[in-house]
Amino acid sequence: MSGPIDRLRQMRRLASSMRVQLEVAVLRAGLDAGLFQALEEPMTPAELAEAKTAPLDLIAAWLRAAHAHGLLLRREGRFQPAPYVRWLMEGPDAEAARAMLDQTALTYVPLQGRLPALLRGEERPVFGRNPEEAIRVAIGARVTERAALSVLRRLPGVRDARRILDVGCGSGSYLADLLVRFRDALGTGVELDPAVAEQARTRLREAEVFRRCEILEGDFMALTVPRNAFDLVLLNNNLHYFDMERRVALLERIHGCLADGGTLAIQAPMVSGSVAARMLGARASMATFDLFLRAHKNLHGLPVMAELQAQLRDAGFTRVGDRPIPLGGIARYVWATKAGTR
């Protein structure tokens, strides 16, 4: 039998497991109800309840919970947002971070409730039937965007690329960044979801590069795309939409689209055993994300580095390499070049 110390240790582990989901619930409630925003000027429970015309007992209970989770600071009986919450409201990654929170609460958590049945063999659901899911994914992906773009611009061949194809371009941020930096470059984006494709067009208009770029709607594997025409092809966070067989076909098709000497840059999250990933909790997060992907009929697991590199060589690429993206190294750019010179 376990002693009191072991029992205490297990209870702490249980409490830690529960805390994460409870914190997300308290956090989203405060953001969606405008409570954190109202506390830009520190308030007492009674002042906040009056300002929001809300029940005092619920407001006081929410304040206690948010403070206990470290989401609020308290001084002389008044509460105000902690730095983390201010970052969620005002930081440069605020929109992306909020989308990730919403995706966790509205998509990941409900799926967790179905996991027991799925593990017993129940038919897996199809991801993306709700259009809002695709939009949240596209926005949430921006949280690593600045770090990823910094790495992307240093990959072989990227700075010299003047014809760029972004397969699964999402909201168009990567194309916009490259076209702004390289004023003589031309871009083509391919996006399956019409609502997300329209977001990409809007982003490119805002960046004032839309005249040098077109967004195609549809499945890249079925669209007519020029061969030997592009210096750079991007695949950002979408390799898991392709099973192993289609992944090989995808890489072969991209190889055919690239001009001689062209580069393919694949950004992908991966399960990492690095010290940084373990310290940040990223290893567990990515392993859980891999489980989430595989629990859907139309999604597939995260790529394995050795397998992906072998597939790239089988598709005809000659040079293959990779570089980590900061934030614990859980995401990487895997790059490959087509033989020949430009």
pLDDT computed for residue 245 by the predictor:
87
Residue 41 scores a pLDDT above 60: yes
Residue 36 scores a pLDDT above 70: yes
Residue 19 scores a pLDDT above 60: yes
pLDDT computed for residue 277 by the predictor:
60
pLDDT computed for residue 281 by the predictor:
61
Residue 54 scores a pLDDT above 70: yes
Determine what percent of the chain is predicted with pLDDT higher than 70. Answer: 95
Domain boundaries, the chain: 4-90, 143-285+297-337
Mean pLDDT of 172-191: 95
Question: What are 126-174's pLDDT values in tens digits?
Answer: 988 888 888 888 888 888 888 899 999 999 999 999 999 999 999 899 9
Determine what percent of the chain is predicted with pLDDT higher than 90. Answer: 68
Beta bridge partner(s), residue 75: 78
pLDDT computed for residue 338 by the predictor:
96
Q: HEC states along the chain?
A: CCCHHHHHHHHHHHHHHHHHHHHHHHHHHHHHCCHHHHCCCCECHHHHHHHHCCCHHHHHHHHHHHHHCCCEEEECCEEEECHHHHHHHHCCCHHHHHHHHHHHHHHHHHHHHHHHHHHCCCCCCCCCCCHHHHHHHHHHHHHHHHHHHHHHCCCCCCCCCCEEEEECCCCCHHHHHHHHHCCCCEEEEEECCHHHHHHHHHHHHHCCCHHHEEEEECCCCCCCCCCCCEEEEEEECCHHHCCHHHHHHHHHHHHHHEEEEEEEEEEEECCCCCHHHHHCCHHHHHHHHHHHHHCCCCCCCCCCHHHHHHHHHHCCCCEEEEEEECCCCCEEEEEEECCCCC
Q: What are phi and psi of 296, to 5 degrees?
A: -110, 145
Question: What are 90-113's pLDDT values in tens digits?
Answer: 988 898 899 989 998 998 889 989
Higher per-residue confidence, 271 vs 268: 268
Residue 5 scores a pLDDT above 90: no
Residue 252 scores a pLDDT above 90: yes
Higher per-residue confidence, 85 vs 340: 85
Q: Mean pLDDT for the chain?
A: 90
Mean pLDDT of 166-183: 94
- pLDDT band at residue 309 using 50, 70 and 90 as cut-offs: very high
Of the ranges 4-18, 57-71, 132-146, the best mean pLDDT one? 57-71
Mean pLDDT of 47-59: 97
Q: Which two tokens stand for residue 166?
A: 């972004």
First to last CA, the chain: 70
Q: What CATH number is given for 4-90 in this structure?
A: 1.10.10.10
Question: What are 221-241's pLDDT values in tens digits?
Answer: 999 999 999 999 999 999 999
pLDDT computed for residue 186 by the predictor:
97
Considering the segment(s) 143-285+297-337 as one domain, its CATH architecture is 3-Layer(aba) Sandwich (3.40)
- pLDDT band at residue 272 using 50, 70 and 90 as cut-offs: low
The two domains 4-90 and 143-285+297-337 share their CATH topology (first three levels equal):
no
- pLDDT band at residue 251 using 50, 70 and 90 as cut-offs: very high
| Burial (CB count <10 Å: 0-12, 13-18, 19+), residue 120 | exposed
pLDDT computed for residue 280 by the predictor:
60
Listed range (72-76, 184-188, 227-231, 288-292) with the worst mean pLDDT: 288-292
pLDDT computed for residue 128 by the predictor:
81
pLDDT computed for residue 276 by the predictor:
58
Higher per-residue confidence, 124 vs 288: 124
